[in-house]
Structure 1
Amino acid sequence: MKTIMIHEMADHVGETVRIGAWLANKRSSGKIAFLQLRDGSGFVQGVVVKEVVGEEIFKTARGISQETSLYITGEVVVDERSSFGYELQVSDVKIIKEAVDYPITPKNHGTEFLMDNRHLWLRSRKQHAVMKVRDEIIRATYEFFHMNGFVKVDPPILTGSSPEGTSDLFETNYFDEKAYLSQSGQLYMEAAAMALGKVFSFGPTFRAEKSSTRRHLIEFWMIEPEMAFVEHAESLEVQEQYVSHIVQSVLQNCPLELERLGRDVSKLEKIQAPFPRISYDDAIEFLHEKGFDDIQWGDDFGAPHETAIAESYDMPVFITHYPIGIKPFYMQPHPDRDDVVLCADLIAPEGYGEIIGGSERIYDYELMKQRIKEHNLDEEAYKWYLDLSKYGAVPHSGFGLGLERTVAWISGVEHVRETNPFPRLLNRLYP
């Protein structure tokens, strides 16, 4: 007898198959028991009829406790009432390991309790759906960049310097010198772009930032492309094409997961390049018109400001040309102004905030030395990075997309803690 996974059932209609599964929930009505089964690939209902399976198997089925592991044998049949489209007419049930007093029951639980039991909470339908969306975004990311001629490069996690200063870095001892957990692989990706043309990385980054908002994690994953011979305007086009691609991929490949999450897919269906653009100057003027008198030119935007701007659009929106004083040292100055740089943040709609930050990079050697000095950085630590603008420098651009915020937006979940399988938060290192 063939052992299959739930997601393969469409190929086995009318066949008797076996699946390995866990019991997510159950109910019974007289002589019929309905088992909600999951195996990691999906969820399916198993129908156990007493007259078909006999007294002993039916008694076993009715007595199974939540999260008990099982082998279930039955016939795959079409079920048009189910969004999955199939169910299993059970003929045999064998218990592998009984679960006793499983702590997460179908009732409501508090957030802290669920986070303490994150290793088990992942089994729930909603968390399963979020992780499947996350996986699809990752798959579509590799697809997009490989289709467009990018090479995957892995920057180090332990670094001796920082692209944005060391105030928000985790410091550690590296034998007889200081090292830091990476807050971005960008500088290394710039070096890789000078060797390989168009590159991207995908890996964990760390911020020792004492923030506990719904948008922040201590450890999160970043996708960071860098592109040689690409200037600011072309980089924005790559960004909007990439975001459009991952959104449409999730719509196409995760319809059941989006339905399970209660996501309004009509809002995602609108996400197609090109995206609107608004300059920082115009954004400040817009916010003043909306009554945000607290923000002045030269200030960075907070969550309320980003949300107010995003609410004027039903698409992600680029905010471009930020003041030079609030951006990192490596950003290329505007050719006609000395107070702003060639950069943009991409703000997701529906209040999810910034999901991409990017810019054209400085490639003039003397200007780069000057900016490193202005930011009080150790020139010796950045000697290797200065070499990039010393030997065969070219215009180049790049950006970083935060995976967890993007998953939150596309999934429609409120807090980024649900978008990472084991999130690291300001006051949480367990499990």
Structure 2
Amino acid sequence: MADVVDLCASLVRFDTTNRGHGDAEGEREAAEFVAGVLADAGVEAKILESAPRRANVLARIPGGDPSLPAMLVQGHLDVVAADAADWTVPPFAGEIRDGYLWGRGTVDMKDFVAMVLSLVSEGLRPRRDLVLAFVADEEDRGEWGAHWLATEHREEFDGCAVAISESGAYTYHVPAADGRTVRLYPVGTAERGTAHLRLTARGRAGHGSRRNDENAVVRLVDALHRIAAHRWPVRLTPTVEAFLLRTGEALGVEVDLSDVDATLARLGPAASLAENTVRNSTTPTMLDAGYKVNVIPSIARAQVDTRVLPGTEDELLAEIDALLGPGVEREFVAHQQPVQAPVDSPWFAAMAEALRSEDPQAVVVPYCMGGGTDAKAFTPLGIDCYGFAPLWLPEGFPYRAMAHGVDERVPVEGLRFGTRVLRHLLTNC
């Protein structure tokens, strides 16, 4: 049996940095390692390359009851860049120090991959068929990984009704109104959609020293200011509403759905799990205009990171069009629909039960992710996707700063806890 900590350390030592725009490394070597671990456990795996060295691993483990729909267990092998000069330990050393395993990917998300591999290596006997997918390119646009698999190898996911993956089921310590500390475990049941926009302002070119009422740069800056300053209205989705009600009850604080901002203020640290998902968001992030200080360009461009709650895109885009003003057009740079899985479902209940099998005081709540995952590739296949990568965390541990951050690390005992929770889910669900 392969130990989960050793497996995670081994995975970290593969530098699978994905810099975006096709610039990635190490995915093939990591995929071969994963396939080797599965083969040693008697599970046949195949490596599918979407492009040279952009490798994805797929395998299927038969369950004890073939009449049940299958579960997709998916994770990504790539990571974001890490500058070793900023880190306390080398980011790809996979070093254990002070009870933590350090390294890029320990939280996002080689920890989860290691848990699954550890269970398979010990001879996991799942109740239902499991489809395992360990993919490339999640840290960019997924076009060489999950989205490619869902399009070009759709048949691999036949029979899958539910999926689990990153960004959920970790310990979140929150003070209650009566002085207790409540251990929340947020399970992802939704995520905002991606509607990244490119704005193009057109005007009249001219000399920088002369008046110009058709300056493309001014038109663009004015449009960006209106968009950035706009206060988007509260739009409560089923997931966010359930989060507010259940978290408020657990903490003993008043929840007023007619005044969400006041409710968030009363939730204390737990508010950070919902404050970015009670509204849509439009955040300007890139600017491009001109080539010389004394020349007014005829075109100026910007990009806006736009995140969309389920059921709100038409309203959002109509408002953006009104805010753009004359001479400014928009187009999509990336466009992926929101994800929404049932909150009150047997799947969610089984996940809550698995967490409580290891932490009887666990308060399991649904939550909506502000960003996105590969769930966006698999949801259109009719699969209910949940963020469930269980992990025990000590009080005060800055988990949400770890993903993509400096000194990323995971508690060794947290990995073992997560593996036990995952075993409970996969053998009983």
Which of the five TM-score ranges fits, normalised by the shorter chain? under 0.3
Instruction: Specify the structure having the higher radius of gyration (Cα).
Output: 1
The alignment's TM-score, normalised by the length of structure 1, stands at 0.26
Q: Which has the higher contact order (CA 8 A, sep 6+)?
A: 2
